Amino acid sequence: GAVVSQHPSWVICKSGTSVKIECRSLDFQATTMFWYRQFPKQSLMLMATSNEGSKATYEQGVEKDKFLINHASLTLSTLTVTSAHPEDSSFYICSARDGFSSYNEQFFGPGTRLTVL
Amino acid sequence: GENVEQHPSTLSVQEGDSAVIKCTYSDSASNYFPWYKQELGKGPQLIIDIRSNVGEKKDQRIAVTLNKTAKHFSLHITETQPEDSAVYFCAAREAGKSTFGDGTTLTVKP
């Protein structure tokens, strides 16, 4: 299947700083990218959906000014957690879908573990 | 919106036995039902999926069945192996948006 990478795989930062997470589709064009958040032993919570070249659509309850999403190219999307606080500590997972493909399945990245001290 | 319920939340089987995980969904417009396997500290990996125009799909030891009338779909794993131990998530997708179940922790005892 297609490959989606995330960088970094883990990050530790101080409270109040901003952290950027990159998500790349390595062998297909990601017309749509999704950002999820996952707490321990819980399911995936969709944060936002972004289509290449458009503004992201955020789920209810997700602060768009705090979680900045950029999807400027067909292979790269970034999630920036601004002014991070300990409650933002979580596992962030991106997912990408190739809208040009008739099959249209969704591939997940390996996730980024964020710890805010 | 869509609501997906997944059962059981934990499942323990002996190596070689079969495992079945069930999901129900609420939105009849959902038309794509993937299953993901997630190992500790990793992202979910698609293992099998089914579309609403198909009732059953099989890939080696893994199969998925879909009952559109009852709005439920199931994952079947036969001849389970210790490496099948992981968390499994079902999902239902409609209009480009996927809703996930809460996950099932499968433990296969050697």
The better pLDDT of the pair B77, B95 is held by: B77
Q: Tell me, yes or no, if B45 comes closer than 8 A to chain A by beta carbon.
A: yes
Residue A104: what pLDDT? Answer: 65
Q: How would you write A42-69 as a 3-class SS string?
A: CCEEEEEEEECCCCCEECCCCCCCCEEE
Residue B54 clears pLDDT 90, i.e. is over it? no
User: Do A42 and B44 count as a contact with CB atoms less than 8 A apart?
Assistant: no
Chain B positions in Cβ-Cβ contact with residue A93 (cut-off 8 Å): 43-44
Mean pLDDT of chain A: 91
Provide the pLDDT confidence category of residue A7 given band limits of 50, 70 and 90: very high
pLDDT digits (tens, 9 = 90+) for A60-79: 889 999 999 999 888 999 99
Task: Tell me the pLDDT tens digit for each residue of A88-107.
Answer: 999 999 999 887 776 667 88
**Residue from B4, B33, B46 whose CB has the most chain A CBs within 10 Å, to mutate:** B46
> How confident is the model at residue A102, as a pLDDT?
63
Distance from CA of B29 to the nearest CA of A (A): 17
Q: Does B49 touch chain A (CB under 8 A)?
A: yes
- Whole-number pLDDT of residue B19: 98
Torsion of CA B42, B47, B52, B57, to 10 degrees: -170
- The whole-angstrom separation of Cα B84 and Cα B107 is 8
Dihedral of the alpha carbons of A28, A2, A95, B81, in degrees to the nearest 10: 180
* Torsions phi, psi for A86 (to 5 deg): -50, -35
A9-39 pLDDT tens trace: 999 999 999 999 999 999 888 889 999 999 8
- Calpha distance A117→A4 (Å, rounded): 28
Residues of chain B with Cβ-Cβ distance to A50 below 8 Å are none
- Other Cβ atoms within 10 Å of A85 Cβ, number: 11
C-alpha count within 13 angstroms, C-beta hemisphere, residue A110: 9
**Per-residue pLDDT at B68 exceeds 80:** yes
Using only C-alpha atoms, what is the Rg of chain B?
A: 13
- pLDDT at position A27 is 86
- Show Cβ contacts of residue A74 under 8 Å, excluding neighbours closer than 6 positions: A25, A29, A30, A31, A52
- Closest-CA residue of A relative to B39 is A110
Question: What is the number of alpha carbons within 13 Å of residue A70 lying toward its C-beta?
Answer: 9
A-B C-beta contacts closer than 8 Å: 44
> Among partner residues A32, A44, A49, which is closest to B100 by beta-carbon distance?
A44
Task: Kindly determine whether residue B43 and residue A46, on different chains, have CB atoms separated by under 8 Å.
Answer: no
End-to-end Cα separation, chain A, in angstroms: 36
List phi, psi (to 5°) of A2. Answer: -70, 160
CB contact under 8 A, A46 and B97: yes
Give the up-direction half-sphere exposure of residue A6: CA atoms within 13 A in the CB hemisphere: 27
Smallest CA-to-CA distance from B35 within B57, B77, B58, B64 is with: B64
